[in-house]
Structure 1
Amino acid sequence: YLYGPKTPVTSFRVDGITLRPRVLVTLEVTGGATDDVGVGFFSIGSWVTMGLFTGRPGVLYTARAEVVNYTTRTEGVDGRYRQVPRGSATNLTLPVAINPEDANRIWSALVQLKDTPVSVFASRQEKFRYLSSVGFVTSDLSPENQAITKANIFVKGIV
């Protein structure tokens, strides 16, 4: 948004819900008579935390977010155009420094995610909110040295 009011984005995260084979989750969203309210994404599952060591972040400063626009536009020879608005998605590239002792645990978790769209947050800090998306995760892991294993996390965002 370059002009006009900014839309507030609020997210809620609830931890510690015991998930059993037959769990029922009820979500109620309310607002005032003139308020627009809605749910953008609702996810149930487990969080996999990656980081170098306890209390230290793992995502490196070369992380990237890319907006992919699926709107199509055809332009005529006279300059007129026809545009079909479609959604957009956010792709992420997140290099993460992890403890080599955690590499097998993280690799196993990433392999389990291969066919499931998931929520990905690079940081809980507000200034890095753009480094979050919902999408399909792929990754590669490589030992950098004896103290650090690097995981490249790629998220192909969904519309």
Structure 2
Amino acid sequence: MTASARVMVPVEITASMLKAGTTIPETDVAMGEVAWVSGGTYEAANQRTYGDSVWGCKLAHTGRTEKPDVDSVYWYRVRPTNRMAPFDDYTNTKALATGSITYVFQPGFLNGLAVYGMEGATYSATVKDSPGGAVVRSWSGDLYSQASGFYELLFSPLVPTVQMSFDDIPLAPDAEVTITVSSDPGKRVAIGTIKVGDWRQFIGDGTGGGAEYGAESDRKSYTFRKYNLDGTYEIVKRTSSRNVNCSVVIDADQAMYADAILGEIMEVAVPFEASGLPRYGYLNTLGFVSGSIRADSAGTTSINLKIEGNI
């Protein structure tokens, strides 16, 4: 493999970074969300939105003014709101809409962008050097992989593209990013996860830096069987994750830099790409990265990476 392995050190996206042009409201009534109101009457299991989250009512109550995020006796966090769903670490908590969905946000510095869990027919992504400023990078296309041959074009369904990454973004300390996923009017569209930040490459001296052959990915399913007392069961459908294992050979002088990267991302779910080449897309994932570093010789070092993919 010739392209360097890399990870993204992400920027945390907060609600204040979302700007005009984002099509999902703070409380998305169209998706069944209802805003929490101070002093209201709530039954157990009611769900209300407050801040960036959906909260579930633990105990029925009336007239309380404490906000759900500090009232743990009566409220618990269920999930992010539909608007903020793409900015947690889970791809299966998706922002949902019909027809089209757009996010406009201002994350500050970035040189990379990755989007996971997309559902729709087309996508577009634009980076401006400042809010309302000049476009420095843009991409667009279909959310279906291209047919490998004439037979596949005529007789095989096209495989949906659910994840994409973008780079080569010029330095812009106040960048504005716009992402849109569209389909036919009335059809479901979704975005699972949006990550922006700084791509960090495990770069060698020209003879290393890419993941070695033998790298592998493993699909882990979280679907399980729920058994009843009489021996019958029901299958509880869950999504799957992609785990990746690979080794990267780098110049020995780069070992401390590689160690610093691993230390920076140990507790954060990050985009990982073993190779930027399209045919190795199955070695790319979003998850938690850990690794060991081994001195192979005076000139080379091996990094053995394990990425536990998120659902």
TM over 0.5: yes
Larger Rg: 2
1:11 aligns with 2:154: no
Distance 1:60 1:155 in 2: 15
- Three-state SS of the structure 1 residue aligned to 2:254 is helix
Deviations 1:41-84 (A, max 9, x none): 31111111113324855211121111111001146799854100
Distance 1:113 1:80 in 2: 43
2:300 alignment partner in structure 1:
148
Residue 37 of structure 1: how far off its partner (Å): 4.1
- Three-state SS of the structure 2 residue aligned to 1:42 is strand
1:90 aligns with 2:242: yes
Partner letter of residue 196 of structure 2?
Answer: I
Residue 35 of structure 1: how far off its partner (Å): 6.4
The partner residue of 1:110 within 262, 272, 278 is 262
Say if 1:70 and 1:112 are closer, same or farther in 2 by CA, change over 3 A.
same
Distance 1:89 1:106 in 2: 25
Residue pairs, 1:14-53, within 5 angstroms: 14=167, 15-19=169-173, 25-33=177-185, 37-53=189-205
Say if 1:17 and 1:71 are closer, same or farther in 2 by CA, change over 3 A.
farther
2:253 alignment partner in structure 1:
101
**Structure 1: gaps spanning 5 or more residues:** none
Distance 2:176 2:227 in 1: 50
Residue pairs, 1:117-132, within 5 angstroms: 117-132=269-284
Identity %: 24
1:51–1:98 contact (8 Å) kept in structure 2: yes
Deviations 1:84-117 (A, max 9, x none): 0011111111111011111111111110001111
Higher strand share: 2
Distance 2:173 2:235 in 1: 45
Distance 1:35 1:7 in 2: 18
The partner residue of 1:135 within 278, 281, 287 is 287
Distance 2:215 2:187 in 1: 35
2:215–2:247 contact (8 Å) kept in structure 1: yes
Partner letter of residue 298 of structure 2?
Answer: Q
Say if 1:153 and 1:120 are closer, same or farther in 2 by CA, change over 3 A.
same
TM-score by length of 2: 0.44
**Structure 2: gaps spanning 5 or more residues:** 1-155
2:209–2:250 contact (8 Å) kept in structure 1: no
Partner letter of residue 105 of structure 1?
Answer: Y
